[in-house]
């Protein structure tokens, strides 16, 4: 059996999770890996057969998306060509982590595509969302990477097809301890913007992991490092708490390790706003921008906020097996009964 695993490479979360998923997919058949996008600092650690430009966004340095850089990278003709030419018919099973090219290739050739992703959870109306919904992005959730079925991931089991996060083995194997520092992972903020703020909170050492500086340096009680998985994991394992954007994997790992969590969702990134609302409902402090009273808010979090207790069992092998079986069942439906709707989601 030939299996294709397609991964979105905007940000580090998809590729980090893929490292955990791939060994279990390999147990089910001959595996090829496809990656699209380029705004990540980690690799998948396995041979990649297809690497495509794809469709994604670029992080800014002031808390939001860099729209100009995103627009410059958008290549619609290349995208359409990649969709039409992708040899999706070679594969018996297609597993997709929010990757647009292979999802639409499946759509065009009426082939089952199973989402194993966080984004697929937003197809449920039960997902927490901010009070002001962005209907354009709601449509993007539906059509960016269409699927026939989903094994979705979120912070809690909000719906029958939604499961708790896949936590990396290297995180599960860590000995969590508190050595007094706080870890900061805010890739949409330049470290030079964060420094004067964090230095005002003097009773803690800050470990800032950044996309924007290539060399480590120290300024007062703030240590700045380029994003590096090994260094980040070690800092997270030994920190008091994590100050994070509104992504998925980072907050999930911090809560799994029993760390305090403080979230600043990326401006203009609706998915992060949704994640932040879910975390807020769980009791995690959330602020949407760095206002004049942010330093006081941060101090209050350090000294008063509680840790959120979660139960994230290791279900990765089961979730992968479920996704593969869904793909095979979908293929059987197509082979036996003709076409089925590929935009029905779950």
* pLDDT tens string 190-221: 999 999 999 999 999 999 999 889 999 999 99
- Percentage of residues in the chain having pLDDT higher than 90: 70
Model confidence pLDDT, tens digit, residues 260-318: 999 999 888 899 999 999 999 999 999 988 888 899 999 999 988 789 999 999 999 99
**75 and 115, same domain (yes or no):** yes
Sorted by sequence, the CB contacts under 8 Å of residue 269 that are 6+ apart come out as 57, 64, 65, 188, 246
**Mean pLDDT throughout 217-231?**
94
Kindly state whether residue 346 falls inside one of the protein's structural domains. no
**Confidence band of 45 (pLDDT split at 50, 70, 90):** confident
Model confidence pLDDT, tens digit, residues 105-134: 999 999 999 999 999 999 999 999 998 888
Model confidence pLDDT, tens digit, residues 246-275: 999 999 999 999 999 999 998 888 999 999
Kindly state whether residue 249 falls inside one of the protein's structural domains. yes
**197 and 125, same domain (yes or no):** no
What stretches of the chain adopt beta strand conformation (E)? 2-8, 30-36, 50-52, 93-97, 114-117, 149-153, 162-163, 182-185, 206-210, 217-219, 222-226, 241-244, 260-263
**142 and 17, same domain (yes or no):** yes
**139 and 258, same domain (yes or no):** no
Kindly state whether residue 84 falls inside one of the protein's structural domains. yes
**207 and 82, same domain (yes or no):** no
Which of 52-61, 72-81, 146-155, 205-214 has the least mean pLDDT?
Answer: 52-61
**96 and 63, same domain (yes or no):** yes
Asked whether the predicted pLDDT for residue 147 surpasses 80, the reply is yes
Model confidence pLDDT, tens digit, residues 151-179: 999 999 999 999 999 999 999 999 999 99
Kindly state whether residue 68 falls inside one of the protein's structural domains. yes
Q: Distance between CA 123 and CA 152 in Å, rounded? A: 9
Sorted by sequence, the CB contacts under 8 Å of residue 26 that are 6+ apart come out as none
| Mean pLDDT taken over the chain | 88
**162 and 182, same domain (yes or no):** no
What pLDDT sits at residue 269? 87
Asked whether the predicted pLDDT for residue 17 surpasses 80, the reply is yes
**282 and 328, same domain (yes or no):** no
Kindly state whether residue 243 falls inside one of the protein's structural domains. yes
What pLDDT sits at residue 301? 94
What pLDDT sits at residue 331? 64
**182 and 240, same domain (yes or no):** yes
- Percentage of residues in the chain having pLDDT higher than 70: 87
Quote the domain boundaries for residue 10.
Answer: 2-166+315-337
Q: What is the CATH number of the domain that holds 182?
A: 3.40.50.2000
**238 and 89, same domain (yes or no):** no
Q: Distance between CA 214 and CA 203 in Å, rounded? A: 27
What pLDDT sits at residue 60? 45
Kindly state whether residue 309 falls inside one of the protein's structural domains. no
Asked whether the predicted pLDDT for residue 56 surpasses 80, the reply is no
Kindly state whether residue 201 falls inside one of the protein's structural domains. yes
Model confidence pLDDT, tens digit, residues 126-136: 999 998 888 88
Token pair of 21, please?
Answer: 């998923």
Question: Structure pTM?
Answer: 0.87
**127 and 236, same domain (yes or no):** no
Cα Rg for the chain, rounded, in angstroms? 20
Asked whether the predicted pLDDT for residue 64 surpasses 70, the reply is no
Asked whether the predicted pLDDT for residue 336 surpasses 90, the reply is no
What pLDDT sits at residue 72? 52
Sorted by sequence, the CB contacts under 8 Å of residue 131 that are 6+ apart come out as none
Kindly state whether residue 114 falls inside one of the protein's structural domains. yes
**159 and 191, same domain (yes or no):** no
Q: Please tell me the total count of domains within the chain.
A: 2
DSSP 8-state class, residue 158: -
**Confidence band of 343 (pLDDT split at 50, 70, 90):** very low
What pLDDT sits at residue 211? 86
């Amino acid at each position: 059996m030939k299996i294709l695993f397609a991964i979105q490479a905007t940000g580090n979360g998809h590729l980090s999770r893929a490292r955990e998923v791939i060994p279990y997919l390999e147990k089910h058949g001959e595996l090829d890996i496809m990656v699209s996008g380029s705004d990540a600092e980690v690799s998948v650690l396995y041979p990649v057969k297809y690497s495509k430009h794809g469709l994604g966004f670029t992080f800014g340095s002031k808390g939001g998306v860099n729209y100009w850089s995103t627009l410059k990278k958008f290549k619609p003709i290349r995208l359409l060509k990649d969709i039409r030419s992708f040899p999706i018919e070679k594969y018996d099973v297609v597993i997709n982590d929010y990757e647009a090219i292979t999802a639409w290739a499946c759509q065009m050739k009426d082939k089952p595509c199973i989402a194993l992703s966080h984004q697929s959870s937003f197809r449920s109306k039960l997902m927490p969302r901010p009070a002001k919904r962005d209907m354009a992005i709601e449509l993007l959730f539906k059509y960016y990477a269409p699927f026939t079925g989903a094994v979705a991931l979120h912070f809690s089991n909000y719906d029958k097809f939604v499961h708790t996060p896949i936590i990396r083995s290297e995180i599960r194997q860590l000995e969590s301890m508190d050595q007094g520092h706080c870890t900061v992972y805010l890739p949409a903020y330049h470290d030079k913007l964060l420094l004067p703020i964090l230095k005002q909170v003097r009773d803690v050492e800050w470990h800032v992991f950044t996309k924007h500086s290539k060399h480590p340096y120290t300024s007062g009680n703030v240590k700045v490092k380029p994003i590096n998985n090994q260094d980040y994991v070690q800092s997270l394992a030994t920190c008091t708490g994590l100050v994070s954007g509104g992504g998925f994997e980072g907050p999930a790992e911090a809560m799994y390790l029993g760390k305090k969590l403080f979230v600043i969702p990326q401006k203009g990134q609706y998915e992060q706003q949704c994640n932040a609302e879910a975390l807020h409902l769980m009791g995690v402090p959330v602020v949407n921008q760095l206002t004049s009273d942010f330093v006081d808010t941060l101090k209050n979090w350090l000294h008063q906020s509680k840790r959120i207790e979660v139960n994230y069992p290791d279900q990765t092998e089961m979730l992968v097996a479920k996704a593969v079986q869904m793909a095979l069942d979908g293929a059987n439906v197509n082979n036996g009964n003709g076409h089925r709707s590929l935009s029905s989601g779950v």
